[in-house]
Amino acid sequence: MRSGLLARFAGPDALAAALTALRDEGYARLDAYTPCPDEAVDAALGGPPSPLARFVLAGGLSGAGLAYLVLWWTQAVDYPLNIGGRPAHAPLAYVPLVFEGAVLCASLTAFVGFLLLCGLPRLWHPLFEVSLFERASIDGWLLAVDDRDPRFDDEQTTARLQALGAEAVVEVAP
Amino acid sequence: MSEGTPPLLIGRWTDASLTDALLEPTRRRPRVLTVLLGVTGLGTLMLFAAIGWTFLAGIGTWGNNIPVGWGFAIINFVWWIGIGHAGTFISAVLLLFEQPWRNSLNRLAEAMTLFAVVQAGLFPVLHLGRPWFAYWLVPYPSTMEVWPQFMSVLTWDAGAVTTYLIVSVLFWYLGLLPDLASARDAATTRFRRRAYGLFALGWRGSVRHWRHQRRAQLLLAGLATPLVLSVHSIVSMDFATAKLSGWHSTIFPPYFVAGAIFSGFAMVLTLVVPLRRLFHWERFITARHLDLVAKMTLAMGLLVAYSYAAELFVAWYSGVPAERHLFFDTRPLGPYGWLYWAQMTCNVAAPQLLWFRAVRRRPWALFVLSIVFNIGMWLERFVLIVTSQHRDFLPSSWDLYVPSLIDGALFFGSLSFFAFLMLLFLRVVPPVAIAETKEILHERGTDA
C-alpha cells in the first residue's frame, strides 16, 4: 500500500474480524501489518500462498546441474587424471558435491526470492512517515485500505473502520 | 499439555512488554559481560598472533610430526564443526517437527552455530601450510590449467563447510529481519534507529511479508536438515576413506553426526544457563526448555555410546590384527590410555546422570555436565585422530605426539574468539527471537 487509510486494532482477533467484514463488503485492496505471524489474520486476508517453493525447486535443480557440469568438465573432459585406472567420469563420487551445489543454490534462491517477493530491501516507505506505524513491529495490529480500492471512500471507509472497532484511523499520504 | 508440565512462557505478557524484555540485552550491558568482552578480546589477539606466527614460520611450529600428521588443527576443526550442528538442528529440524520450544532458543543456537563454524573454518585453512593458497580449492580457470581433485574427500569438505556457513547465515538473517525491525522501531537514539533500520532492510510486517518469510524459513529448514547431516558425514569421510585402523569404518557418518549434535546441545547448555540467569530469561527459557535440551543431549549421548560399542564390536569381529590391536591395546592401554578412559567417563558414563529429573531440573548441574561433555567430545577427537596415527602398521615408525605452545595458543585463542563473537552478538542482536516468542504468547496465552 502506498496511500490510503491505516487503522489500529486491539489484537489479532479484532483485526481478523475486521478484515473478514471488509472483504465481505467487497473491499479488495486490503493489507494487514502484524508484529508476528498470525494464522487467523492470514486466513482473513486471503490471497495466494507464497510461490517460493517452485522457485526453490528450480534453483536447487539448476544448482545440482551446474555442480555436475563443473565436476564432469573438470574431471573427465578438460584434465582427466588416471589414478590407478579409475574412471574419470565417476557419478557416484560426484554425489556429495552435487548435493551441496543443489542445497546452496536452492537456499540462495529461497533468500533472494523472499527479498524480491517482499520488495525488500526498501529502506523508506510512505508508511514509515505515519506515527501510528511506529509500533507496527512491536504491538501494532494494523489494517490498511488502499485508496485505489474501488470501494474506497475517505469518510465512509473511516467510519466503517471505526464501527468495526478500530482504536485509531489515520491517513497515509504517498 | 498434561498436568505438571512446566510452561514454555511464564508470566502475564503483552506484545509491548515482551518486546521490551527481549530487547533488554541490547540496551543494558551487565558489567561482567563487558569485562569478559575485554578478556576474550585479548584471547582473540593471542589467536591472531599465533596465526601470524604460523603464517611466518609454517606449520613446523605445531606439534605435528610423522607419523602423526594430523594433530590439534584437525581435532579442533572436527570439534568446532560438531558444536556448530546444534544450532541448525534446533532451528531447522525442530521447526519441521513443529516443536514450539525451539522458538526461544533458536536465535542463540544459530548464532552459536555461525561462530563455531567460523572457528572450524580457520583450522583446515591454516593446516594447508600455505594458507594464502586456500582459494586453490575453488574450481576457477587458472593459468596453471589444472583443477582441484574432486575425487578427494578434502575438496568435498571445503564445499560442505562453505555451503553450511552460507546457508546458516541466510537462515539466521531471515529469522532475524522482523526482530531487527522491532529493534529499529523501539530504538531510543537516532543512530540505533538508522543502524537497525539499515539491517532490517525496510521490513514492514505485512501479512504478505510474513507469508513469504514463513515459506522461506520452512524451505530453508527443509534444505538445512539434510545439509546438517551431510556436513559431519563428509567430515567423517576424511577419516573413513583413509586405510588406517580406527579410521577405516563404515559407521563413521552416523557416528560423527550423533557426536556432533551431542556436543552442540552441550554447548547450548553451556551458553544458555549462565545467560538466562544474567538476563533473567527464566520466563522465556524456562525449566521445561532446559529439561527438553537435556533429554535431547541424553538421547544423542546414548547414540554416541552405541557407536563406541559398534566400533569395538566391528574391530573384534573383523579379525584384523591391526584393528584389534588399536581398539583393545593401543587405545585403552597405550600412552594415551588415560585420555581414552577420560573420554569414556565424560561421554558414556556422565550423560547417564541426565536420566534423573532432579539433575535435568538443576540448571547449574546441567552447566557443569555440559562442560564435561564438551571436554569429552574434544577428547574423543583427540583419541580418534592421534591414537590411530601414532601406532600404525609399522612399529618402526611409531612415535608420540605432543602439542606445541602454538597449538595451545590456537586452541584457546579460538575459544576466546568464539566467546568474543558471542558477546558482541549479545550486545547488538536480540538474542531471543521476539516475533516467535510472541507467536507462543498468542497461540497459547500467558503461562503457556
Q: Is residue B387 part of a domain?
A: yes
Residue B314 lies in a domain: yes
Report the pLDDT value the prediction gives residue A15, as an integer from 0 to 100: 87
Question: How far away is chain B from the Cα of A32, in angstroms, using its nearest Cα?
Answer: 6
Name which of A56, A108, A137 is nearest B181 (Cβ-Cβ). Answer: A137
**Is residue A36 left, alpha or beta, with left meaning phi > 0 and alpha meaning psi from -120 to 50?**
beta
pLDDT of residue B144: 84
What is the predicted pLDDT for the residue at B8? Answer: 74
Kind and range of the H or E run holding A5:
strand A4-9
Look at residue B189 and tell me if it is in a domain.
yes
- Give residue-wise pLDDT tens across range A142-161: 888 888 877 777 777 787 77
Closest CA to B259 of B316, B315, B321, B308: B308
Q: What is the pLDDT of residue B2?
A: 41
Three cell numbers written together for B60? 613446523
Q: Is the distance from CB of B444 to CB of B286 less than 8 angstroms?
A: no
Closest CA to B164 of A115, A148, A80, A107: A107
Locate cell 614460520: which residue?
Answer: B57
Mean pLDDT over B53-78 rounds to 91
For the whole model, what pTM was predicted?
A: 0.91
Q: Is residue B213 part of a domain?
A: yes
> How many folded domains does chain B comprise?
1
**Residue B134, all three cell numbers:** 586456500
Q: What is the pLDDT of residue B259?
A: 93
Q: Do A107 and B210 touch (CB under 8 A)?
A: no
Closest CA to B22 of B105, B111, B102, B89: B105
Mean pLDDT of chain B: 88
> Which residues from chain A sit within 8 angstroms of residue B146, using beta carbons?
79
Report whether B247 contacts B68 (CB < 8 A).
no
CATH of the domain at B170: 1.20.1630.10
Question: Region B326-350: what's the mean pLDDT?
Answer: 94
Residue A24 CA to residue A32 CA, distance in Å, equals 16
Chain centroid to CA B16: how far? Answer: 33
Q: Is residue A59 a contact partner of residue A108, using CB atoms and an 8 Å limit? A: yes
| B-chain residue closest to A104, CA distance | B163
pLDDT at B448 over 70: no
- Domain locations in chain A as residue ranges: 4-48+123-172, 52-118
Q: Which domain holds residue B253?
A: 16-444
How far off is chain B from A144, nearest CA to CA, in Å?
10
Cα–Cα distance, B6 to B9 (Å, whole number): 9
Local structure of residue B6 (DSSP, 8 states): P
- Please check whether residue B6 lies inside any domain of the structure: no
List chain B residues with CB under 8 Å of A97: 150, 155-156, 159
Min distance B342 CA to chain A CA atoms (Å): 35
pLDDT attached to residue B445? 59
Residue B416 has what pLDDT? 96
Instruction: Report ipTM for this prediction.
Output: 0.91
How many Å apart are CA B410 and CA B76, to the nearest integer? 9
Q: DSSP code of B206?
A: B
Q: Would you give per-residue pLDDT tens digits along chain A (174 residues)?
A: 778 888 888 888 888 888 888 888 888 888 889 888 888 888 888 888 888 999 999 999 999 999 999 999 998 998 888 888 888 898 998 999 999 999 999 999 999 999 999 888 888 888 888 888 888 888 888 888 888 877 777 777 787 777 777 788 888 877
| Confidence grade of residue B5 (pLDDT, cut at 50, 70, 90) | low
The CA distances from residue B369 to A102, B363, B383, B385, B414, in Å, are 38, 10, 21, 24, 22
pLDDT at B446 over 60: no
Between chains, do A35 and B205 touch, taking CB under 8 Å as contact? yes
What's the grid cell of residue A19? Answer: 478484515
Pick the residue from chain A with its C-alpha nearest to B167: A107
- The answer to whether residue B10 is domain-embedded is no
Percent of chain B at pLDDT above 70?
98
* The pLDDT value given to residue B1: 39
- B198-211 burial: b if 16+ Cβ within 10 Å, else e: ebbbbbbbbbbbbb
* Residue B73 within any structural domain of the chain: yes
Tens of pLDDT, residues B385-434 = 999 999 888 889 899 999 999 999 999 999 999 999 999 998 888 888 88
**Residue B188 within any structural domain of the chain:** yes
Take residue B346 and report the three cell numbers written for it.
565424560
Give the model confidence (pLDDT) of B304-317 as tens digits: 999 999 999 999 99
Angle at the Cα of B304 from the Cα atoms of B299 and B306, rounded to 5 degrees = 95
* Per-residue model confidence as pLDDT tens digits over B89-113: 888 887 787 777 777 788 888 899 9
Q: Is the pLDDT of residue B175 over 70?
A: yes
